Amino acid sequence: MNPPLLSVRDLRRTYRSRAGLFGSGLVTRAVDGVSFEMTAGETLGLVGESGSGKSTTGRLVMGLEEPDGGNVVFAGTDLTAMTPAQRKPFRRRMQIVFQDPYAALNPRMRVGDFVAEPLLVHDVGGGAAERRDRVAELFRTVGLDPAFMQRFPHEFSGGQRQRVGIARAIALQPEFLVADEPITALDVSIQAQIVNLFQDLQERLGLALLFIAHDLSMVRYLCTRVAVMLRGRIVEAGPVEAVFADARHPYTRALLSAVPIPDPVRERGRKRLPFDAGGYTFPPGAALRDLGSGHLVLDGA
Protein backbone atom coordinates (compact mmCIF):
# COMPACT_ATOMS: atom_id res chain seq x y z
CA MET A 1 0.00 0.00 0.00
CA ASN A 2 1.31 3.43 -0.95
CA PRO A 3 1.48 6.06 1.77
CA PRO A 4 -1.59 8.30 1.60
CA LEU A 5 -1.32 11.51 -0.39
CA LEU A 6 -4.24 12.93 1.53
CA SER A 7 -5.36 12.02 4.97
CA VAL A 8 -8.46 13.55 6.48
CA ARG A 9 -9.04 13.03 10.19
CA ASP A 10 -12.25 13.69 12.08
CA LEU A 11 -13.16 16.79 10.14
CA ARG A 12 -15.94 18.94 11.59
CA ARG A 13 -17.82 22.04 10.54
CA THR A 14 -20.94 23.52 12.12
CA TYR A 15 -22.93 26.43 10.69
CA ARG A 16 -24.98 28.71 12.88
CA SER A 17 -27.64 30.88 11.30
CA ARG A 18 -28.91 33.99 13.00
CA ALA A 19 -32.27 33.67 14.68
CA GLY A 20 -35.07 34.26 12.22
CA LEU A 21 -38.79 34.75 12.07
CA PHE A 22 -39.42 31.45 13.74
CA GLY A 23 -37.36 31.89 16.84
CA SER A 24 -34.11 30.13 17.51
CA GLY A 25 -31.30 30.15 14.99
CA LEU A 26 -30.48 26.99 13.12
CA VAL A 27 -27.40 24.96 13.96
CA THR A 28 -26.32 22.67 11.15
CA ARG A 29 -23.60 20.12 11.72
CA ALA A 30 -22.70 20.05 8.06
CA VAL A 31 -19.61 17.85 8.53
CA ASP A 32 -19.60 15.78 11.66
CA GLY A 33 -16.45 13.73 12.04
CA VAL A 34 -15.39 12.75 8.53
CA SER A 35 -12.21 10.71 8.00
CA PHE A 36 -10.75 9.17 4.86
CA GLU A 37 -7.48 8.67 3.06
CA MET A 38 -6.50 8.83 -0.57
CA THR A 39 -3.39 7.63 -2.37
CA ALA A 40 -1.88 9.16 -5.50
CA GLY A 41 -3.69 8.13 -8.67
CA GLU A 42 -6.77 7.07 -6.79
CA THR A 43 -10.36 8.16 -7.37
CA LEU A 44 -12.64 8.34 -4.38
CA GLY A 45 -16.31 8.87 -5.11
CA LEU A 46 -18.11 10.92 -2.48
CA VAL A 47 -21.84 10.33 -2.75
CA GLY A 48 -24.82 10.76 -0.51
CA GLU A 49 -27.82 12.76 0.45
CA SER A 50 -28.32 16.24 -0.87
CA GLY A 51 -27.24 18.48 2.01
CA SER A 52 -25.18 15.77 3.70
CA GLY A 53 -21.97 17.82 3.67
CA LYS A 54 -20.16 16.70 0.52
CA SER A 55 -19.39 20.17 -0.82
CA THR A 56 -18.46 21.38 2.65
CA THR A 57 -16.04 18.46 2.98
CA GLY A 58 -14.52 19.44 -0.38
CA ARG A 59 -14.06 23.05 0.69
CA LEU A 60 -12.56 22.06 4.06
CA VAL A 61 -10.06 19.74 2.39
CA MET A 62 -9.05 22.56 0.08
CA GLY A 63 -8.62 24.94 3.00
CA LEU A 64 -11.24 27.31 1.55
CA GLU A 65 -13.00 27.17 4.86
CA GLU A 66 -11.63 26.58 8.35
CA PRO A 67 -12.83 23.44 10.09
CA ASP A 68 -14.08 23.53 13.68
CA GLY A 69 -12.09 20.40 14.31
CA GLY A 70 -10.02 17.70 12.73
CA ASN A 71 -7.14 17.92 10.29
CA VAL A 72 -6.19 17.61 6.68
CA VAL A 73 -2.76 16.17 5.98
CA PHE A 74 -1.52 16.53 2.42
CA ALA A 75 1.76 14.93 1.32
CA GLY A 76 2.79 14.58 4.94
CA THR A 77 2.04 18.18 5.93
CA ASP A 78 -0.80 19.17 8.22
CA LEU A 79 -2.52 21.98 6.32
CA THR A 80 -4.94 22.77 9.09
CA ALA A 81 -2.07 23.89 11.32
CA MET A 82 -0.76 26.37 8.74
CA THR A 83 -1.41 30.02 8.02
CA PRO A 84 -2.88 30.90 4.62
CA ALA A 85 0.54 32.19 3.55
CA GLN A 86 2.22 28.92 4.49
CA ARG A 87 -0.40 27.06 2.50
CA LYS A 88 0.27 28.94 -0.69
CA PRO A 89 2.69 26.42 -2.24
CA PHE A 90 0.05 23.73 -1.79
CA ARG A 91 -2.55 25.72 -3.70
CA ARG A 92 -0.87 24.81 -6.91
CA ARG A 93 -0.91 21.11 -6.15
CA MET A 94 -4.54 21.01 -5.04
CA GLN A 95 -7.37 22.28 -7.20
CA ILE A 96 -11.16 22.31 -7.13
CA VAL A 97 -13.97 22.35 -9.67
CA PHE A 98 -16.89 24.04 -7.94
CA GLN A 99 -20.40 22.66 -7.94
CA ASP A 100 -21.94 25.89 -9.17
CA PRO A 101 -20.08 26.83 -12.34
CA TYR A 102 -21.63 30.25 -12.73
CA ALA A 103 -20.88 31.41 -9.22
CA ALA A 104 -17.30 30.22 -9.64
CA LEU A 105 -16.62 32.26 -12.78
CA ASN A 106 -15.77 35.93 -12.74
CA PRO A 107 -18.52 37.59 -14.79
CA ARG A 108 -16.30 40.44 -15.95
CA MET A 109 -13.39 38.34 -17.07
CA ARG A 110 -13.05 36.71 -20.46
CA VAL A 111 -13.07 32.97 -19.89
CA GLY A 112 -9.71 32.57 -21.62
CA ASP A 113 -8.13 34.91 -19.05
CA PHE A 114 -9.95 33.09 -16.29
CA VAL A 115 -8.40 29.78 -17.32
CA ALA A 116 -5.00 31.44 -17.76
CA GLU A 117 -5.10 33.10 -14.34
CA PRO A 118 -3.60 30.24 -12.31
CA LEU A 119 -0.77 29.95 -14.86
CA LEU A 120 -0.07 33.62 -14.38
CA VAL A 121 -0.35 33.59 -10.60
CA HIS A 122 2.02 30.67 -10.25
CA ASP A 123 4.19 31.95 -13.02
CA VAL A 124 4.12 28.89 -15.25
CA GLY A 125 3.32 28.51 -18.92
CA GLY A 126 5.98 30.92 -20.19
CA GLY A 127 5.25 34.15 -22.07
CA ALA A 128 1.91 35.48 -23.22
CA ALA A 129 1.91 33.63 -26.55
CA GLU A 130 2.87 30.33 -24.99
CA ARG A 131 0.27 30.79 -22.33
CA ARG A 132 -2.39 31.48 -24.96
CA ASP A 133 -1.49 28.25 -26.74
CA ARG A 134 -1.64 26.35 -23.50
CA VAL A 135 -5.10 27.74 -22.75
CA ALA A 136 -6.29 26.93 -26.28
CA GLU A 137 -5.07 23.39 -25.73
CA LEU A 138 -6.95 23.21 -22.43
CA PHE A 139 -10.12 24.38 -24.17
CA ARG A 140 -9.82 21.64 -26.74
CA THR A 141 -9.16 19.10 -24.01
CA VAL A 142 -12.50 19.84 -22.37
CA GLY A 143 -14.35 19.92 -25.70
CA LEU A 144 -14.61 23.69 -26.14
CA ASP A 145 -13.73 25.60 -29.26
CA PRO A 146 -10.68 27.82 -28.51
CA ALA A 147 -12.57 30.63 -30.25
CA PHE A 148 -14.66 30.73 -27.06
CA MET A 149 -11.66 32.07 -25.10
CA GLN A 150 -12.73 35.61 -25.98
CA ARG A 151 -16.19 35.22 -24.52
CA PHE A 152 -17.67 36.21 -21.19
CA PRO A 153 -19.37 33.67 -18.87
CA HIS A 154 -22.94 34.84 -19.55
CA GLU A 155 -22.49 33.94 -23.21
CA PHE A 156 -22.22 30.26 -22.38
CA SER A 157 -24.63 27.43 -21.84
CA GLY A 158 -24.55 25.67 -18.47
CA GLY A 159 -22.39 22.83 -19.67
CA GLN A 160 -19.97 25.12 -21.47
CA ARG A 161 -19.42 27.04 -18.22
CA GLN A 162 -18.85 23.85 -16.33
CA ARG A 163 -16.08 22.94 -18.76
CA VAL A 164 -14.42 26.32 -18.31
CA GLY A 165 -14.18 25.49 -14.59
CA ILE A 166 -12.61 22.13 -15.38
CA ALA A 167 -10.09 23.67 -17.79
CA ARG A 168 -8.97 26.11 -15.11
CA ALA A 169 -8.69 23.44 -12.45
CA ILE A 170 -6.45 21.20 -14.53
CA ALA A 171 -4.34 24.05 -15.94
CA LEU A 172 -1.59 23.56 -13.35
CA GLN A 173 -1.65 19.77 -13.59
CA PRO A 174 -2.52 19.34 -9.92
CA GLU A 175 -1.73 16.21 -7.94
CA PHE A 176 -5.07 16.36 -6.23
CA LEU A 177 -8.42 17.52 -7.56
CA VAL A 178 -11.77 17.96 -5.85
CA ALA A 179 -14.39 17.76 -8.58
CA ASP A 180 -17.77 18.73 -7.12
CA GLU A 181 -20.46 17.49 -9.50
CA PRO A 182 -18.21 18.29 -12.43
CA ILE A 183 -20.24 16.67 -15.20
CA THR A 184 -23.89 17.12 -14.25
CA ALA A 185 -24.54 19.88 -16.77
CA LEU A 186 -22.88 18.04 -19.64
CA ASP A 187 -24.46 15.90 -22.28
CA VAL A 188 -23.52 12.27 -21.86
CA SER A 189 -21.00 12.23 -24.69
CA ILE A 190 -19.10 15.15 -23.16
CA GLN A 191 -19.44 13.48 -19.76
CA ALA A 192 -17.65 10.53 -21.30
CA GLN A 193 -14.98 12.83 -22.70
CA ILE A 194 -14.35 14.45 -19.29
CA VAL A 195 -14.31 11.11 -17.47
CA ASN A 196 -11.84 9.78 -20.03
CA LEU A 197 -9.79 12.92 -19.47
CA PHE A 198 -9.73 12.33 -15.70
CA GLN A 199 -8.49 8.81 -16.35
CA ASP A 200 -5.77 10.05 -18.66
CA LEU A 201 -4.64 12.52 -16.01
CA GLN A 202 -4.55 9.76 -13.45
CA GLU A 203 -2.58 7.41 -15.59
CA ARG A 204 -0.22 10.08 -16.89
CA LEU A 205 0.24 12.27 -13.84
CA GLY A 206 -1.00 10.17 -10.95
CA LEU A 207 -3.81 12.60 -10.23
CA ALA A 208 -5.80 11.79 -7.10
CA LEU A 209 -9.45 12.69 -7.62
CA LEU A 210 -12.16 13.31 -5.06
CA PHE A 211 -15.22 12.90 -7.25
CA ILE A 212 -18.38 14.29 -5.64
CA ALA A 213 -21.32 13.02 -7.63
CA HIS A 214 -24.89 11.86 -7.71
CA ASP A 215 -24.53 9.71 -10.77
CA LEU A 216 -23.83 6.36 -9.19
CA SER A 217 -23.38 4.53 -12.49
CA MET A 218 -20.56 6.92 -13.29
CA VAL A 219 -19.10 6.56 -9.80
CA ARG A 220 -19.08 2.82 -10.22
CA TYR A 221 -17.38 3.15 -13.57
CA LEU A 222 -14.79 5.77 -12.66
CA CYS A 223 -13.94 5.35 -8.99
CA THR A 224 -11.78 2.87 -7.16
CA ARG A 225 -13.43 3.54 -3.84
CA VAL A 226 -16.63 5.18 -2.73
CA ALA A 227 -17.77 6.86 0.50
CA VAL A 228 -21.45 7.40 1.28
CA MET A 229 -22.48 10.40 3.36
CA LEU A 230 -25.59 10.98 5.37
CA ARG A 231 -26.17 14.02 7.60
CA GLY A 232 -22.54 14.98 7.92
CA ARG A 233 -21.11 11.52 8.41
CA ILE A 234 -19.75 8.71 6.33
CA VAL A 235 -22.03 5.73 6.81
CA GLU A 236 -20.33 3.32 4.44
CA ALA A 237 -17.12 3.27 2.40
CA GLY A 238 -15.00 0.83 0.53
CA PRO A 239 -13.89 -0.52 -2.81
CA VAL A 240 -16.57 0.38 -5.35
CA GLU A 241 -17.45 -3.16 -6.33
CA ALA A 242 -17.69 -4.32 -2.72
CA VAL A 243 -20.09 -1.52 -1.84
CA PHE A 244 -22.20 -1.85 -4.99
CA ALA A 245 -22.46 -5.60 -4.78
CA ASP A 246 -22.92 -5.88 -1.05
CA ALA A 247 -24.18 -2.62 0.45
CA ARG A 248 -24.66 -2.95 4.19
CA HIS A 249 -26.01 0.34 5.43
CA PRO A 250 -29.75 0.81 4.84
CA TYR A 251 -29.12 4.26 3.39
CA THR A 252 -26.63 2.91 0.87
CA ARG A 253 -29.11 0.25 -0.12
CA ALA A 254 -31.88 2.77 -0.58
CA LEU A 255 -29.54 4.94 -2.64
CA LEU A 256 -28.51 2.11 -4.92
CA SER A 257 -32.10 1.04 -5.42
CA ALA A 258 -32.97 4.55 -6.62
CA VAL A 259 -30.47 4.74 -9.48
CA PRO A 260 -32.48 5.40 -12.65
CA ILE A 261 -31.97 2.92 -15.46
CA PRO A 262 -31.67 4.34 -18.99
CA ASP A 263 -34.22 1.92 -20.36
CA PRO A 264 -37.92 2.87 -20.22
CA VAL A 265 -39.19 -0.66 -19.76
CA ARG A 266 -36.88 -1.59 -16.91
CA GLU A 267 -36.97 1.87 -15.33
CA ARG A 268 -40.76 1.82 -15.03
CA GLY A 269 -40.69 -1.51 -13.27
CA ARG A 270 -37.97 -0.53 -10.78
CA LYS A 271 -38.85 -0.28 -7.07
CA ARG A 272 -37.03 2.02 -4.67
CA LEU A 273 -36.27 0.83 -1.16
CA PRO A 274 -37.66 3.26 1.39
CA PHE A 275 -35.37 4.98 3.88
CA ASP A 276 -36.32 7.81 6.23
CA ALA A 277 -33.15 9.89 6.29
CA GLY A 278 -34.65 12.45 8.68
CA GLY A 279 -35.97 9.93 11.16
CA TYR A 280 -32.85 7.78 11.14
CA THR A 281 -30.85 8.00 14.35
CA PHE A 282 -27.17 7.13 14.41
CA PRO A 283 -26.46 4.34 16.88
CA PRO A 284 -24.86 5.84 20.01
CA GLY A 285 -21.08 5.80 19.82
CA ALA A 286 -21.27 4.50 16.27
CA ALA A 287 -17.99 4.16 14.42
CA LEU A 288 -16.95 2.76 11.08
CA ARG A 289 -16.22 -0.93 11.35
CA ASP A 290 -14.10 -2.81 8.81
CA LEU A 291 -15.85 -5.80 7.29
CA GLY A 292 -12.58 -6.83 5.69
CA SER A 293 -10.63 -5.58 2.67
CA GLY A 294 -11.43 -1.98 3.49
CA HIS A 295 -15.21 -2.19 3.28
CA LEU A 296 -16.34 0.00 6.18
CA VAL A 297 -19.80 0.39 7.55
CA LEU A 298 -21.15 2.48 10.39
CA ASP A 299 -21.70 0.28 13.38
CA GLY A 300 -25.16 -0.91 14.19
CA ALA A 301 -26.22 -1.14 10.55
Partner 1 sequence: MLEISDLSVGFSREGRFARVIPGLSYSLRRGETLGIVGESGSGKSVHALALLGLLPQPPGKVLGGQAIFRGEDLLTVPEARLRELRGGQIGVVFQDPMTALNPVLTVGRQIAEPLMRHKGMTRRQALDRATDLLALVGIRDAARRLSQFPHEFSGGMRQRVMIAIAISCEPALLIADEPTTALDVTVQGQILDLMAELRERLGMTMIWITHDMGVVAGIADTIQVMYAGRTMERGPVEAVFASPRSAYTWGLLQSLPHGARPPGGRLHQIPGQPPDMFNLPPGDPFAPRNPFATERCHVEAPPLRQVEGSVPGHLAAAWYDLPALLERAR
Ligand X SMILES: Nc1ncnc2c1ncn2[C@@H]1O[C@H](COP(=O)(O)OP(=O)(O)OP(=O)(O)O)[C@@H](O)[C@H]1O
158 contributes a contact to Mg ion by CB under 5 A? yes
Of residues 164-193, which lie at the interface with ligand X (CB under 6 A)? 185
Q: Which amino acid is at 189?
A: S
44 binds ligand X (CB under 6 A): no
Q: Which of 177, 183, 244, 236 is nearest to 43 (CA)?
A: 177
Stretch that binds Mg ion, among 62-70, 151-159, 283-291, 292-300 (CB under 5 A): 151-159
Rounded to whole angstroms, the Cα distance separating 33 from 283 reads 15
Rounded to 5 degrees, what angle do the CA atoms 92, 78, 39 make?
70
Which residues have C-beta within 8 Å of that of residue 261, sequence separation ≥ 6? 267, 270
Residue range at the interface with partner 1 (CB under 8 A); choices 5-13, 70-78, 122-130, 267-275? 267-275
Contacts of 29 (CB under 8 A, 6+ apart): 12, 13, 14, 231, 232
Asked whether position 24 contacts ligand X by CB under 6 A, the answer is no
Of the residues 1, 20, 127, 293, which one makes contact with partner 1 according to CB under 8 A: 20
| Of residues 167, 72, 55, 65, the one with CA closest to residue 111 | 167
Q: Which of 118, 66, 128 is nearest to 97 (CA)?
A: 118
In terms of CB distance, is 172 or 298 closer to partner 1? 298
Query: Considering only residues 56, 80, 95, 252, which one is a binding residue for ligand X as defined by CB under 6 A?
Result: 56
154 binds ligand X (CB under 6 A): yes
Of 78-86, 158-166, 169-177, 281-289: span binding partner 1 (CB under 8 A): 158-166
Q: Which of 88/272 has CB closer to partner 1?
A: 272
Which range, of 13-21, 97-105, 132-140, 147-155, touches Mg ion by CB under 5 A? 97-105
Distance CA 113, CA 195 (A): 25
Regarding 160 and contact with Mg ion (CB under 5 A), the answer is: no
**Any contact of residue 156 with ligand X (CB under 6 A)?**
yes
The answer to whether the CB of 281 falls within 8 A of the CB of 230 is no
* Tally of CA atoms within 13 A in the half-sphere of 265 that contains its CB: 0
d(CA 197, CA 209): 12
| Region of 44-52, 112-120, 123-131, 282-290 interacting with partner 1 (CB under 8 A) | 44-52
108 binds partner 1 (CB under 8 A): no
Q: What is the CA radius of gyration of the chain?
A: 20
Q: Which of 187, 246, 290, 299 binds partner 1 (CB under 8 A)?
A: 187
Q: How many residues bind partner 1 (CB under 8 A)?
A: 73
Cβ–Cβ < 8 Å for 5, 17: no
Residue with smaller CB distance to ligand X, 152 or 244: 152
Stretch that binds partner 1, among 69-77, 113-121, 166-174, 185-193 (CB under 8 A): 185-193
* Environment class of 19 (CB within 10 Å of its CB; exposed 0-12, middle 13-18, buried 19+): exposed
Residue 220 within binding range of partner 1, rule CB under 8 A: yes
145 binds ligand X (CB under 6 A): no
Q: Can you give the binding site for Mg ion, defined by CB under 5 A?
A: 55, 99, 157-158
**Which residues are at the interface with ligand X (CB under 6 A)?**
15, 17, 28, 30, 50-56, 99, 154-160, 185
